[in-house]
Amino acid sequence: MKKIKILIPVYNDWESLIKLLDEINKVIEDIKSVEFDCMIVNDASTTKPPDITVPKNIKKIEIFNMKQNRGHARCNAFGLRYLSKKDDFDHLIVMDGDGEDRPEEIKYLVNQALEDQEVSVVAKRVKRSEGPIFQILYEIHKLITLLFTGKQVNFGNYSCLTKKDVITLSQQESLWSSFSGTVKKSILRLNTINSTRGLRYFGPSKMSLLNLGIHSFSIIAVFKSQVFLRGFILTILIYLFENLFGAATFYLILSLIVFMALIYLNSFRENIEDFVKSDENVDNVKTNTH
């Protein structure tokens, strides 16, 4: 029997987590020959976690209560590093705990993972639920990422990873800053499923324009060497074609310099020392079973 873990970071949004676990329980009921359990990373929530009843189709739920709030990406990074040392699973599903990663798509991730068991699967976003301004900026983010890295990063955290790829990712410093960027850089072959971004179960989306900017820079910073090389080449080309760009030449070059400086500063989020010592942030672990 295959064993799949589901990694879910949570900060205060316990109501959504309870609903998500119930929805996951319904979806996996029809997935045969697979045993599921969940790893919940409580990112130092300021509200007390409720008593969580383990749904019948989930074997156990482990809640890792963290001492200090580190953020969504670093909860995932901790989870992958912790699980890379364990032997009690075959695949790991990484997903948000608020409903935006739709639980009904778990069956597509699992089916694809079981069909090609040596290759991880990512949920490619083909439709989003945010407003038009956000969606336009998101498309600009993808275009800039492609221009400066040569990579098309059209997925987020929602994925089903092989144990081998969990180990590979757990050794990458950049995982502390960006999950999707590190996956794209470190794993050469990926399968995909089409995914629609869902709506949060409760409250507004936390992906604000500011968070989108941080998210974008974090992904691009994973490929900083390529970014600096391409930025340097673009700067030279703009300078050589000064007659074409005219008065805009100075501002284009200045914009490139500022952009590369921001990427460089963002790369300091990749703190290998904090990543390696992330297990020291665990206060306690609570295990719930049937």
Query: Can you list the domains of the chain with their CATH numbers?
Result: 2-135+153-204 (3.90.550.10)
Long-range contacts: 211-217, Cβ < 8 Å, 24+? 212/134, 212/137, 212/138, 212/141, 214/266, 215/141, 215/178, 216/141, 216/144, 216/145, 217/262, 217/263, 217/266
Dihedral sign from CA coordinates of 286, 199, 157, 133: negative
Q: Could you tell me the two tokens for 126?
A: 């083909």
CB 65 within 8 A of CB 283: yes
Q: Which of 13-17, 67-71, 129-133, 231-235 has the lowest mean pLDDT?
A: 129-133
Q: Compute the distance between CA of residue 231 and CA of residue 228 in angstroms, rounded to an integer.
A: 5
C-alpha radius of gyration, the chain, whole number = 20
Query: Dihedral of CA 49/178/212/195: which sign?
Result: negative
b or e along 30-48 (b: 16 or more beta carbons within 10 Å of the residue's beta carbon)? ebeebbbbbbbbbbbeeee
Q: Rounded to an integer, what distance in angstroms lies between the CA atom of residue 246 and that of residue 258?
A: 20
Quick check: 209 pLDDT over 70? Answer: no
Structure tokens at 284: 């306690």
What would the two tokens of residue 240 be? 């050589």
Count other C-beta atoms under 10 Å from residue 128's C-beta: 16
Across all residues in the chain, what is the average pLDDT? 92
- What does the pLDDT look like over 35-85, one tens digit per residue? 999 999 999 999 988 889 999 999 999 999 999 999 999 999 999 999 999
- Judge whether residue 130 has pLDDT over 70: no
- Whether residue 175 contacts residue 102, with contact meaning beta carbons closer than 8 Å, is answered with no
CA distance 175 to 183: 8
Tokens matching residue 201 = 């179960």
Amino acid, res. 252: L
Q: What is the per-residue pLDDT across 262-290, written as a single tens digit (0 to 9) for each?
A: 999 988 888 889 999 999 999 999 998 87
- Give alpha helix (H) positions in 84-198: 106-115, 132-149, 163-170, 179-186
- 61's enclosing H/E stretch is strand 60-66
Which two structure tokens, joined as six digits, stand for 269?
């989020």
- pLDDT for 134 beyond 80: no
Count Cα neighbours of 141 within 13 Å in the Cβ-side half-sphere.
23
Q: HSE, CB side, 13 Å, CA atoms: give it for residue 256.
A: 20
pLDDT interval class at 199 (50, 70, 90): confident
- To the question of pTM greater than 0.85 for the whole model, the response is yes
